[in-house]
Structure 1
Amino acid sequence: MKNVRIIPAKPKENKKLKVAAYCRVSTSGSEQLRSLEIQISAYTKMIKSHPNWIFVGVYYDIESGLRRSGRKSLDKLLKKAAKGKIDYIITKSISRVSRDTLEILKITRFLRERGINMHFENEKLDSIEADKEFEITLRGMLAQDESRNISENIKWGIQRKFEKGEILTKYKNFMGYTCVDGEIVIVPEQAEVVRKIFDLYLQGLTLGQIKDYLEAQGIKTVTGKEIWDTKTIQRMLTNEKYKGDTMFQKTFTEDFMTGKKSKNIGQRNKYYVKDSHAAIVSAEIYDKVQEEMAKRARLVTSEDGTVEISGSKYNGKYFLGNLLVCGDCGASYRRRTERGKVVWRCATRIEKGKDACPHSPTMDEGWIQDVLAEAVCENGGYDEGIIRNKVARIQIYNLYTMISYKNGEQTKICF
């Protein structure tokens, strides 16, 4: 018979466990913050009072449970666990860790592979036990479905508010406005900045030039920054709220799980409410800015005859680009240098070819300036300031040019 010697298993060392707790609340509301404070205090006391536990800390986040992004404390907790600095984690429930079924499964498996247990108090479940994975997953699915129902209910409620024209008054970092007791009110100092931006644009300044002006004057953004972004200025100039109206549902959330927002270009209803709050600029000034933006856009005529915006945008440093329009196709004129000479040509003809706009003439810049000096500036020399104040548009036809003034009058100049 073979000689077999049994080597007894070594009993586990009765060493103390390094224990941490994890808490989460969805919002920074007073009630939720109070709940968070109570949880942190309770877990700290619980862990410190246990004779075989070493208190590592209480980690907490104030974020949605649907997404990991933004939950820095959870990430920090898991990284610490991966380095062997945590043996045991206590949390109130599965939904506190995550409301994403796949995410909770990843987290529990990540911990189990490293011999770390996460104890869910409400469910009385331990992630270290492999046979409990199905139950944890099932509970996670229920938490996810609960979030979906909550999201649908919130959407329904907001939709009803839109239909009734009720205004959402939780404005944050909105230049010119703030909320007081549920009402949208004007912030006078900021409102002056808004009016100045609209005024500068109508004076002919580009977005870049307005940015330079604001920074040179030491005017700060609504968040207190000294550097302005031209995209921010553009959004301000196109925001209907500044004329006292409100457009609802400009964007919508595609998926409650990812929280991804998309621009509403017809996928959902939109709701426009006039005179929803006090205006900072008049409707007339706001509409003039929109008209000016349309003029500055580079327009070309497509094959079916409709006018469309081309890929290249208007270069604001050329003043005449605001005024010159092809009388045949409606496209703007563009500045070019040909054989050392500065000329203006129809954008449709440049992009689509002569067949797309066969009758638009090429205009010499010097000739245009001489005509404007005589017709608009009354022989006082070419003055962009005078022309900007008087002229609304200059249409270029095959045999003549039509100058349209802001007062409604017109002057025909034959070639």
Structure 2
Amino acid sequence: MGYRCENDKWIIVQEEADIVKKIYQLYLDGSTLQQIKEYLEGKQIKTATGKEIWATAVIQKIFKNEKYKGDSMLEKTYTEDFIIGRKSKNVGQRGRYYVTNSHPAIISTEVFDRVQEEMNRRVRLVYKEDGTVVPSTRKYNGKYLLGNLLVCGNCGASYRRRTERGKVVWRCATRIEKGKDRCADSSTLNEEWIKTVLGETVCENGNYDEEIVRNRVEKILIFNEYLEICCKNDDKISIKLTKNKLG
């Protein structure tokens, strides 16, 4: 959204660019992803693909896309199999190249960076029953590595390990302690599934290796529709959540 490509050059589409600017402004003014979604749908603003319903994951990607400040990260994906044309996310398997001022910017670098800081700040917050917001008091979990990485993207609480109906799952601490109503959008994760995901996206051999994950992953944010693996080298990997992947 906001650009079209002509003769290998990125051209700003002003009407769409104004929508992108409004989305950034709403977030910095204090709106949540859900509130921005409701605003866009209420104004009958369609997505870049013409959909009337916005996903919060799409809004989140707009905030994280460096192209809106005029820069480009090259080689985000690579062709793993040339015969069938299968592509994979590049999380260290190949070189990546960051190009500044590669095309006209829609968002200033200052505004873009402020949004990144605000996203990180909100992750460290916990929303209490009386409506106040306080810093998260996440405690170090020496027994389980995932207990130090999994963070609820909605309320900022850490995730806790539980065994339910013979399955090991991870669930938002706010939801466990205060009920579903206090964090209705948090997803419960199946432990085997999240380890498989980390093995495929972070570990070079495709198998879950706790030491590799410990060295490469800073945190994992869990939202209603997707999770985001935040690596220590500043790479971010988004994984869509479906019912068969949840606990």
TM interval, shorter chain, is 0.5 to 0.7
Aligned with 2:84 (options 238, 241, 258):
258
**Closer/same/farther in 2, CA of residues 252 and 302 from structure 1, 3 Å limit:** farther
Q: Aligned residue for 2:75? A: 249
Alignment partners' CA distance in 1, 2:114 and 2:103: 21
Once the two structures are superposed, residues 74-106 of structure 1 have per-residue CA deviations (whole angstroms, 9 ceiling, x without a partner) of xxxxxxxxxxxxxxxxxxxxxxxxxxxxxxxxx
**Closer/same/farther in 2, CA of residues 203 and 309 from structure 1, 3 Å limit:** farther
Q: Aligned residue for 1:41? A: none
Once the two structures are superposed, residues 171-214 of structure 1 have per-residue CA deviations (whole angstroms, 9 ceiling, x without a partner) of xxxx0001233321110000000011111112222222211110
Describe the SS at the equivalent of 2:78.
strand
Structure 2, unpaired ranges of 5+: 125-135, 158-172, 179-247
Q: Aligned residue for 1:292? A: 118
Query: For the Cα contact (< 8 Å) 1:297–1:309, is it kept in 2?
Result: no
Q: Under a length normalisation based on structure 2, what TM-score does the superposition of the two structures give? A: 0.53
- Residue 222 in structure 1 maps to residue 56 in structure 2: no
Alignment partners' CA distance in 1, 2:19 and 2:52: 14
Q: Aligned residue for 1:146? A: none
Q: Aligned residue for 2:10? A: 184
Where relative contact order (Cα < 8 A, 6+ residues apart) is larger, the structure is 2
Q: Aligned residue for 1:206? A: 32
Alignment partners' CA distance in 1, 2:176 and 2:141: 25
Query: For the Cα contact (< 8 Å) 2:46–2:52, is it kept in 1?
Result: yes
What is the aligned length? 149
Aligned with 1:313 (options 134, 149, 152):
152
Alignment partners' CA distance in 2, 1:221 and 1:291: 25
Once the two structures are superposed, residues 31-54 of structure 1 have per-residue CA deviations (whole angstroms, 9 ceiling, x without a partner) of xxxxxxxxxxxxxxxxxxxxxxxx
Alignment partners' CA distance in 1, 2:177 and 2:63: 36
Question: Whose strand fraction is larger, Structure 1's or Structure 2's?
Answer: 2
**Closer/same/farther in 2, CA of residues 188 and 210 from structure 1, 3 Å limit:** same
Residue 303 of structure 1: how far off its partner (Å): 4.5
Query: For the Cα contact (< 8 Å) 2:75–2:90, is it kept in 1?
Result: yes
Structure 2 counterpart of 1:285, one-letter code: V
What are the equivalent positions in structure 2 for 1:12-411 lying under 5 Å apart? 175-297=1-123, 300=138, 301=140, 303=142, 310-315=149-154
Alignment partners' CA distance in 2, 1:282 and 1:232: 20
Query: For the Cα contact (< 8 Å) 1:251–1:261, is it kept in 2?
Result: yes
Alignment partners' CA distance in 1, 2:33 and 2:177: 28
| Pairwise CA RMSD | 3.1
Structure 1, unpaired ranges of 5+: 1-174, 323-333, 340-415
**Closer/same/farther in 2, CA of residues 337 and 273 from structure 1, 3 Å limit:** closer
**Closer/same/farther in 2, CA of residues 271 and 309 from structure 1, 3 Å limit:** farther
Query: For the Cα contact (< 8 Å) 2:78–2:90, is it kept in 1?
Result: yes
**Closer/same/farther in 2, CA of residues 302 and 247 from structure 1, 3 Å limit:** farther
